[in-house]
Amino acid sequence: MTTGHQPQDRYKAVWLIFFMLGLGTLLPWNFFMTATLYFTDRLDKLQNASSVTEKVDRSILASAAPTTTSSPERSSLSSIFNNVMTLCAMLPLLVFTCLNSFLHQRIPQSIRILGSLVAILLVFMITAILVKVQMDALPFFVITMIKIMLINSFGAILQGSLFGLAGLLPASYTTPIMSGQGLAGFFTSVAMICAIASGSELSESAFGYFITACVVIVLTIICYLSLPRLAFYRYYQQLKLEAPGEQETKLDLISKGEEPGAGKEEHGGSAPNAQPSARPSIIAILKNISVLAFSVCFVFTVTIGVFPAVTVEVESSIAGTSAWKKYFIPVSCFLVFNIFDWLGRSLTAVCMWPGKDSCWLPGLVVARVVFVPLLILCNVKSHYYLPVIFAHDAWFIIFIAAFAFSNGYLASLCMCFGPRKVKPAEAETAGAIMAFFLCLGLALGAVFSFLFRAIV
């Protein structure tokens, strides 16, 4: 095959579409997470409203017999919201990413990606509508957790399928997905700061988040539907299905806008050089990418272990009563993290060092564990066991910036290199497996976050 006939990504259209797909993968869920304060505040208000009658009944019965009911604070649904939300998010994310790794060959790619996007869009439309609907606290809590499970279930299928799809293209086309996901965090941080500055009601801010998420998902669907129209994408999409002897013929068909299989039907059979495509072995692929799979898992285990569970507990040592105290965590924690994480993810578009077979890559990944004690020893409030060594705000901002940049860069490198360690026909499966280990790292990090917060 001559490289001169290879289609070019004109105007970087495919690159930009994958960037938009990456943005659409995480931005809706990030907005949902940003609205956590809205959910807990509404639960408190709903419970307080529903407890008026109970208080009257208890005052009537108090003269007859003493009661032993617990205080509203201890029984509040809002007090367990974050813990239950983490459980309802991580379990479906891990389970469905694993299922996607094994079953993606049985379900068409378009159904997995388009179906997941439509399902997530419907969930966010319902969420936006429910902002204006009154209901009791318990049904609101249960419905919210069901929505969290649905978003993460379909999000897991979407993310795994997307990385598998990118695995069919050159290595640089995983970078826009990672970069788009990083930019999603940046947009969310800016939205959080704008909401604080505007002083708007939590319900109004949450409604804006959910509507924005719906718009982004619709744009993502449009971008995905436009992919098959691009010759560059069609070339790599069909390349994995063909033997080397057929590739030159298919290039000519694609350039003419014809169906790749038309020539076979006219001549009554496949080309002489065609080879039957064997289903790739999951175990064999996993052996080839095991180091990279461990690396991306370890990267996110360390990251989620301390961010945001520990980092949001850091207090400013110079703020006093100034406005900086109100903006310290949104700016120095979330905004700084998301900016440098995005920069790290985007850097792999121009620099991919160390290489996929270098020992430096897993070495640098493991070395990131140094950020755990560095961040824990910052000015964390309510510290009982460890002293505060890095009290000044500047230390915390420097650590967060380096922590985020290394997270974005190393994770993006691993996700780019994973599909390149296997044969082209196995690249989609390798991408899906890498997505599973990414989600495994998120789940393990959520578990370790309890330990890291407890030892402060």
Torsion sign, CA atoms 139, 140, 141, 146? positive
d(CA 99, CA 159): 12
Q: Tell me, what's the pLDDT at 53?
A: 45
Q: Tell me, what's the pLDDT at 5?
A: 66
Pair of tokens at residue 256: 């003419």
Cα dist. 363→286, 298, 299, 354, 441 in Å?
A: 20, 11, 11, 10, 17
Please choose, from the candidates 346, 20, 263, the residue with its C-alpha nearest in 3D space to the C-alpha of residue 162: 20
Q: Name the burial class of residue 39, with classes exposed (0-12), middle (13-18) and buried (19+) by CB atoms within 10 angstroms of its CB.
A: buried
Q: Tell me, what's the pLDDT at 244?
A: 44
Length of the chain: 456
d(CA 395, CA 314): 11
What is the pLDDT tens value at each position of the chain, 456 positions in all? 444 567 888 889 999 999 999 999 999 999 998 888 888 888 888 777 765 545 544 544 444 444 444 434 434 777 788 778 888 888 899 999 988 888 777 888 889 999 999 999 999 999 999 998 888 889 999 999 999 999 999 999 999 999 988 888 888 899 999 999 999 999 999 988 988 888 888 888 899 999 999 999 999 999 999 999 998 998 887 776 554 445 445 545 544 444 444 444 444 444 444 444 556 678 889 999 999 999 999 999 999 999 988 898 898 988 666 788 888 989 999 999 999 999 999 999 888 889 888 999 999 999 999 999 999 999 988 778 888 899 999 999 999 999 999 999 999 999 999 988 988 888 888 998 999 999 999 999 988 988 888 888
* Residue 452 host element (H or E): helix 427-454
- The amino acid sitting at 101 is S
At residue 16, the 3 state secondary structure works out as helix
Residues 6+ apart with CB under 8 A from 89: 148, 149, 152
Q: Tell me, what's the pLDDT at 319?
A: 64
d(CA 435, CA 98): 9
Q: Tell me, what's the pLDDT at 126?
A: 95
Reported pTM: 0.80
